[in-house]
Structure 1
């Protein structure tokens, strides 16, 4: 059985892995990630790679060796990127992920305080925003290390919210550990008008595409 390691402390990502039948160990990345990208798609890819790399090097006790980037599952039926590829290694497969909300070209991570949470919710209420999650998984193979990095985009529409509704929401604990200051799977669900894309991507992990990407490389 492949040794899957999730480089995240998020209980939501852990639950999504469990729902997909992907048994994994939890070893959160603890380093401070720094990314240069301004584009949210490139930003989350870069941050997910940093998280996965940190934990991969921690558990293997070495730096990555000649890393080779390979393509992710692209959503096409019968995708044969690897055609017959099987993984027989004994090393770990480390999965990192990072999620941000983007509205009007402004990237939102987790709010730093109540005022920041209020600003975020006020900006997205009554309109449409985008949620980007970047995913990277790394594994050792034949004297080198291989990795896959991709991002998933979901558009989210939010009903208009009054000031009192916003105040009620940010007075609870829910907003403060989530990108964009809300959780679609929590009490904020009453404000969601609709989505275009993968719901689980908004929760924090596009697990269906991750599953298929792991599968085509023989990692599950």
Structure 2
């Protein structure tokens, strides 16, 4: 029998909504023992990085757009129940100052894996939490930073990985929890951040609500 911990007494009875269609984020929140609903955001999955001074500002604003869109829709759409807490998230890979989102073609996926081969890159995940207040909402958020180093990946392996289809719904064109784990030489930071949702930092933030 597992250890029962009073992890979420502070938000018990609150309607918690994840503003993401990501199956990985859903699984992570389930593993955290959270009771929540998923409402897929209609906000753009990708913003324009050129409008921001830093990658951190870009990813934080993109996550906020997603959270705000879902919070508003839960309040106005009759088919949705009003949310007490909405969590929006966005993950990007950054290498040599360049932001890599989800690849849109096989060639783009190949280009991304080629750039990451034998290099160290940064994974940024922004999390934005909106909490319903008497008037509007309060906002809290953070950006988690993890460094990942890939070993050199043979061209034939790169092509086979792209053909597998795994890269296409993942920032930077790879999933660390899948076959791409074989490419990872080292990691510095939160593993779950690379998967798409940093458990510990999210836990600490939710406990403050």
TM range (shorter): 0.7 to 0.9
What is the SS of the residue equivalent to 1:47? helix
* Misfit runs of 4+, over 4 Å: none
Deviation at 1:143, TM superposition (A): 2.6
For the pair 1:59 / 2:74, whether they are aligned, the reply is: yes
The TM-score normalised by the length of structure 1 is 0.83
Q: Does 1:113 align with 2:105?
A: yes
| Alignment match, 1:86 | none
2:16 touches 2:84 (CA, 8 Å); kept in 1? yes
Alignment RMSD: 1.4
Shift, 1:142, TM fit? 3.2
Distance 2:69 2:177 in 1: 29
Structure 2: runs of 5 or more not aligned: 1-12
Determine which of 34, 45, 50 is the counterpart of 2:47. Answer: 34
Structure 1 or 2: more helix by fraction:
2
Distance 1:23 1:172 in 2: 33
- Aligned equivalents of 1:34 and 1:100: distance in 2? 11
Indicate the SS of the match to 1:110: coil
Work out whether residues 92 and 125 of structure 2, in 8 Å CA contact, stay in contact via their aligned partners in 1. Answer: yes
Bigger RCO of structures 1 and 2 (CA < 8 A, at least 6 apart): 1
Moved more, 193-202 or 204-213: 204-213
2:125–2:198 contact (8 Å) kept in structure 1: yes
Helix, strand or coil: the match of 2:149?
strand
- Structure 1 pair 191–34 and aligned structure 2 pair: CA distance change class (3 A): closer
Cα distance in 1 for partners of 2:21, 2:198 equals: 16
In 2, Cα distance between equivalents of 1:131 and 1:143: 35
